[in-house]
Amino acid sequence: MYSIKEIYYTIQGEGHHTGQAAVFLRFSGCNLWSGLEKDREKAICKFCDTDFWGTDGTLGGKYEANELAEICLSLWPENRKGRPYIVCTGGEPLLQLDKQLVKAFHDKGFFIAIESNGTIEVPEGIDWICISPKLGSELTVSKGHELKLVYPQAKVNLLQYESLDFDHFSLQPLDDCNQSDHITTCIEVCKQRPQWRLSLQTHKFTGIR
Ligand code: SF4
């Protein structure tokens, strides 16, 4: 059984696939924070902006692989051209996403994207691997399609990521009380280091949900 916080149909708001219609599948749980405010200060990852605790969101619950794939496909508009697109996120999706679920999604025709913190090995067959490293955790995934770095993070060194085997590098301003300063910084970094591309969280200022 997979523990799911919520499932909904939306538009990808950030990163390389910004603007892409997608089924968002949010897994419960993360290995870098419990998800409870009382634990935030002692968490490895302290700036999380997502509620991934429990199974109480829209279509949240505990599901078997085929049942979960069926529910996700039911959210995709019928008779559309192209493959249905699913974003497996969290929390940390790779705590749960396994070969069996990858197969169930592929059997339904899904293009499978993941958004992971990069601390857990990726099962075979994922079509789009987006890794968002978190300082203080060990990055075990050094290869994929997109590396999306929330910036700045304390003592982060961009050089350590630039030689990794990713096709795209996205720099995303940290969303805190100094966000406008971070946006300015990220713009400057992207101009100086064109390997990086600015990623804005468009769902936040457009109200997309
Ligand atoms: S790794 Fe991702 S899901 Fe986990 S606490 Fe950090 S931002 Fe949130």
pTM summary value: 0.96
Atom of ligand 1 nearest to the CA of 30: 4
| pLDDT tens per residue, range 70-129 | 999 999 999 888 899 999 999 999 999 999 999 999 999 999 999 999 999 999 999 999
179 is written with which tokens?
Answer: 């966000």
Output the average pLDDT for the chain.
97
The domain spans of the chain are 2-206
| pLDDT tens per residue, range 157-189 | 999 999 999 999 999 999 999 999 999 999 999
Handedness of CA 159, 163, 165, 168 (dihedral sign): positive
What are the residue ranges of helices labelled H in 41-165? Answer: 65-74, 99-107, 159-162
- Which is catalytic among the residues 6, 16, 17, 24? 24
Kindly report the number of other CB atoms within 10 A of residue 142's CB atom.
Answer: 14
* CATH 3.20.20.70 matches 2-206: yes
